[in-house]
Structures are given as structure tokens and as C-alpha cells.
Structure 1
Amino acid sequence: MLPIMLDVVTMKILVVGAGKIATRKIQKLVAAGNSPTVIAPVASDYVQKAAVAKKITWHKRIYQIGDTADFQMIFICTNDDRVNHEITRDILPTQLVNDTTNKANSNFFNLASFTYHDFEIALSSKGKSPSQTKELKEKLQQILRNEDSLNS
């Protein structure tokens, strides 16, 4: 794995699913300037509001074979193993894929990151433990906040 910063503004990105995990991915993509396409029969409040505000494109339906064809990056975020398997069969070798349900199907992982002054600080467990990575991120943020308060 190679940690990188990736400009996603103009990338065609698909998120399949619109639950808790998918919503976090979608929020980060929108914050990074992307307008992802989301496929899910039901969606979180955020996804519904983002669709109304035209920040994303939401197809209110289940995944259909071939839906991944025109996308450069795909996030698999459903709780349906059959659908997840269909998606992974559709993936092309040139597409970036993050299967949040099975890291073995992923060729990239998101890093837990935060901004501190002029720095973007990112952490990764290489997909082994997102919860521990989040915990470490929160500890580092607290250490840096404490350092700032001591120096002010």
C-alpha cells in the first residue's frame, strides 16, 4: 500500500449503500468537492438532503449489474452479501475499490485524517482496524489541542 493524497474533485465516484458507513464516505467526498453518485433503495437523512440540494446524485433503487461501468472509484457499503458479491464481479482492474464489508476486495483504504493548522495528518491500520485508527486519531487530536492550549 502507498499512502497518497488524491484530488477527487473531478473523479466519477459511486457509493453503493446509504447507511451509516456510506453516509460518512459521502460526507467526506462532498467535503472534498466531489458530487458522488449513490445507489440505495433507502438512505440516511444526510443523503436525502444532499440529493435535494444537488450535492450528490441518488438513484433510489437496488444495485444493478453494470452500474459500476463508468466510475473511477467505487465504495461498497451495503449489508447484503449477494449485492456486494455482484458489485465485486463487475469491478474492472482499472477501478479503485473500497469494499467496507470485506477488505480483501479492496485495492485502497481511506485514512483517518484531520487538519491541524497547515497540516493534514492521516493514519491507517491498512484496513485491519478502522476503530483503533479512529481512536488513535482522537488521542492525537486531544494531545495537539492540549499542546496548543499550553502554548497560548
Structure 2
Amino acid sequence: MAYVPLNIDLTNKQIKVIGGGKIAERRVKALLDSDATIHVISPDLTGNLYQLYLDEKIIWYKKSFESKDLDNDELIISATNQEEVNDVIKKSAPIHSLINMVGDAQGGNVIFPGTLKRGKLQISVTSTGASPKLVSNILNDLDKQYPIDYAEYVDFLYECRIIIKSLDLEKAKKNQLLESILSDQYFDEDEQEKLTNWLKRQPKKRAREE
């Protein structure tokens, strides 16, 4: 199966998670910030999932999975270790649904990559199920290369990009500025402040007259 890496906006989408154990918990935590509606089907929940239910972060159906439980779900996550349940999920899923089969990457059409987040920066790594340990090792290396405070540098780049796009400059000059802010010089907060203040003083594009 050929996988294409994508970032998907799941706002207001319906997600169905079958299973209430540690694996289901990891998937739910990865989706909490997506603004999707998360439904969990399981007779039991981990303590953390139960707390999310109490906090109304997820919707819990305290029951065993049945094929009729799948309807208009945009994303279905099979987080059980029961092969027969996994088979029913695959056969019952709506044709439009994305499916993640935990423990059997090739069984579905969605893989959850390992992800390093630094503010607006996200770096995702997957071995397409070949070696989760390799993914873990790579993420550990990335964690050292991009420390927590790297998020602030990314925020600086974002602010500068917004300002530069608004300036009354030729496209080539804008591209030159966007390239220059990637210099190691701007890891320094004082240098960041100097540049953003300078950019804010530059002439802006005039709005077109109707």
C-alpha cells in the first residue's frame, strides 16, 4: 500500500475509537487538540480516558463493539488486540472512512506517525510499520536537535513572514528577506526583536482602490 503524508484538519469531524486500553488512550491524546468529536466504544476505560470522559473531552459508549456502531465516521481507530473485532471493523467501515488499525499498519489506510512538536513546527516520522523502534530512535535524535525553546524561534519566523508578505516590495526582495531570517543570527532574542521592529517600520502595500 502506498501512503502519502498529509496534515488533515479534523475540526468538527467524527472519530470512532474502538477500545479503551493504553493504546486507545495514546490515540485519543494525539487527537484531543484536533477539535474533532471523539467517540470511544469499550466496556472499560483506562483511568486517564475515564477522566477525559468526566471532563467531557470524549463521548463514551460503555459496551462491546458491534458493526452497527460505525456510521458517518470520518476516522475509525481500531485499538483492540482482538483479531475478530478488527476484521469486523474493516468489513463494516463506511467506504469513505479513514481507518487506523493499531498493531497492523498495513491493515488500514491511515498510519499515525511519531511526531515531534515545537509550537507551529511539527516533524513526523514513520517507518510504515517496519520498525517502531527506529522511529523512536529518530525522534530522540530530533528532540536533541530541536529543543523545547525552538518553538519561540518558529513563532518569530511566522511573525516575520506575515509582516514581510505585507510589505511594498518586489517578490524577489521578499524571498531574500525570508531566506535571511533563517540565519543562526536570529536564534538570539535580541536580534529577533531588532529585526521585527525594523520590519514593522517598512512601508506596507497600499490597499487597492475600488
Does the pair score TM above 0.5?
A: yes
1:103-142 correspondence runs (5 A): 103-116=105-118, 118-142=120-144
Between 1:123-132 and 1:35-44, the stretch displaced more is 123-132
Query: Structure 2: how far apart are the matches of 1:147 and 1:59?
Result: 40
**Deviation digits for residues 38-79 of structure 1 (CA, Å, limit 9, x no counterpart):** 001111111101111110001011101221122111000001
The one of the two structures with greater contact order (alpha-carbon pairs below 8 A, sep at least 6) is 1
Structure 1: runs of 5+ lacking an equivalent: none
- 2:25 corresponds to: 23
Please list, as runs of the form range in 1=range in 2, the aligned pairs for 1:2-151 lying within 5 A after superposition.
Answer: 2-116=4-118, 118-145=120-147
State the 1:147 CA deviation: 10
Amino acid corresponding to residue 13 of structure 2 in structure 1: M
- Cα 1:89–1:145 change in 2 (3 A) is same
Q: Name the SS for the 1:122 alignment partner.
A: strand
Quick check: 2:100–2:111 contact (8 Å CA) kept in 1? yes
SS in 2 for 1:138: helix
Offset at residue 93 of structure 1 (A): 2.5
Deviation readout 1:95-148 (Å, 9 max, x if unpaired)? 100001322221011121122354211111122222321221122111223997
Cα distance, 1:123–1:43 mapped onto 2, change above 3 Å? same
Distance in 1 between residues matched to 2:53 and 2:148, nearest whole Å: 39
Provide the rounded CA distance (Å) in 2 between the counterparts of 1:146 and 1:26: 23
Secondary structure in structure 1 of the residue aligned to 2:147: helix
Find the residue that maps to 1:54 and give its secondary structure.
Answer: coil
Q: Which has the larger radius of gyration?
A: 2
Change (3 A) 1:139 1:48: same
Q: Deviations over 1:7-46 (max 9, x none)?
A: 1121110000011111000011112222300001111111
Identity %: 23
- What CA RMSD, in Å, does the superposition of the two structures yield over aligned residues? 2.0
What amino acid sits opposite 1:107 in the alignment? N
AA aligned to 1:24 is R
8 Å CA contact 1:76, 1:101 repeated in 2: no
Q: TM-score, normalised by structure 2?
A: 0.66
